[in-house]
């Protein structure tokens, strides 16, 4: 399975990516992991990215694209992959399409996790994190279940910050949904509900791709 996962922050992409990657026995490839690996290994691409980051600048698409293309040539991605966090815009989507066509391994599907903004804001703004160990906690918890540490709300879990993140997603990333809809690759499922139910929805929807 060659799959791209898209959806707004708070839709549960990271969680679903892990389950789907395990189900299809393919690597879960996130841009964050790719960046960290290149920076740690001080690869030429990693050093380029570090230069921009040290200058307080965004890493340009050209560098990100090359990192992703390099990762997709690794042996574990021969039989498929799940991309999470890439592409983030239609320019990156065009580059990915051209690269995969050249390799004669086009995408099989793009899975969109759809959920209302109001649900995302409620979900994320209720999260609490342990000050001591950094573990997440349920809204009902009064202290960390792992170390009994004090809980707090992270800055990026505040409602106004979440709303801004969603606005950025709509402006920059949501257009790729239309791109892949036009390509005939888009599959949309609801990301509201229990994690297991969402995973089942995803697998059922994706099974239709392969008949």
pTM of the predicted model as reported, rounded to 2 decimal places: 0.85
- pLDDT for 210 equals 67
- pLDDT for 211 equals 55
DSSP codes joined into one string, 108-154 = -EEEEEE--HHHHHHHHHT-EEETTT--EE-TT-SS-TTT-PPEE--
Reported as a single tens digit per residue, the pLDDT across 90-100 is 999 999 999 99
- pLDDT for 66 equals 96
From the list 10, 9, 7, the residue with the least C-alpha distance to 123 is 10
Rg over CA atoms, the chain = 18
Reading the chain (211 residues) residue by residue, the pLDDT tens digits are 999 999 999 899 989 999 999 999 999 999 889 999 999 999 999 999 999 989 988 889 999 999 999 999 999 999 999 999 999 999 999 999 999 999 999 999 999 999 999 999 988 888 888 888 988 887 778 889 889 999 998 887 889 999 999 999 999 888 999 999 999 999 999 999 999 999 999 999 999 886 5
What span, in angstroms and rounded, lies between the C-alpha atoms of 18 and 28? 7
- pLDDT for 125 equals 86
Tokens of 163: 């709303």
Question: β-strands 109-114, 2-6: how paired?
Answer: parallel
Catalytic residue set: 13, 88, 127, 154, 165
From the list 84, 102, 109, 98, the residue with the least C-alpha distance to 9 is 84
């Amino acid at each position: 399975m060659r799959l791209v996962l898209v959806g707004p922050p708070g839709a549960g992409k990271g969680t679903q990516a892990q389950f789907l990657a395990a189900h299809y026995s393919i690597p879960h490839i996130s841009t964050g992991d790719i960046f960290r690996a290149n920076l740690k290994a001080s690869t030429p691409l990693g050093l380029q990215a570090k230069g921009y980051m040290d200058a307080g600048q965004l890493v340009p698409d050209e560098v990100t694209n090359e990192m992703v293309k390099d990762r997709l040539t690794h042996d574990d991605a021969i039989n498929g992959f799940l991309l999470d966090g890439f592409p983030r815009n239609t320019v990156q989507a065009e580059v990915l399409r051209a690269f995969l066509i050249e390799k004669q391994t086009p995408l099989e599907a793009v899975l969109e996790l759809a959920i209302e903004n109001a649900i995302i804001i409620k979900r994320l703004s209720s999260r609490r994190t342990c000050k001591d160990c950094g573990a997440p906690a349920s809204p009902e918890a009064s202290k960390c279940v792992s170390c009994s540490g004090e809980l707090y709300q992270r800055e990026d879990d505040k409602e106004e910050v979440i709303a801004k993140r969603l606005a950025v997603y709509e402006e920059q990333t949501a257009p790729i949904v239309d791109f892949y809809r036009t390509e005939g690759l888009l599959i949309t499922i609801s990301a509201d509900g229990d994690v297991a139910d969402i995973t089942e929805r995803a697998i059922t929807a994706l099974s239709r791709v392969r008949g």
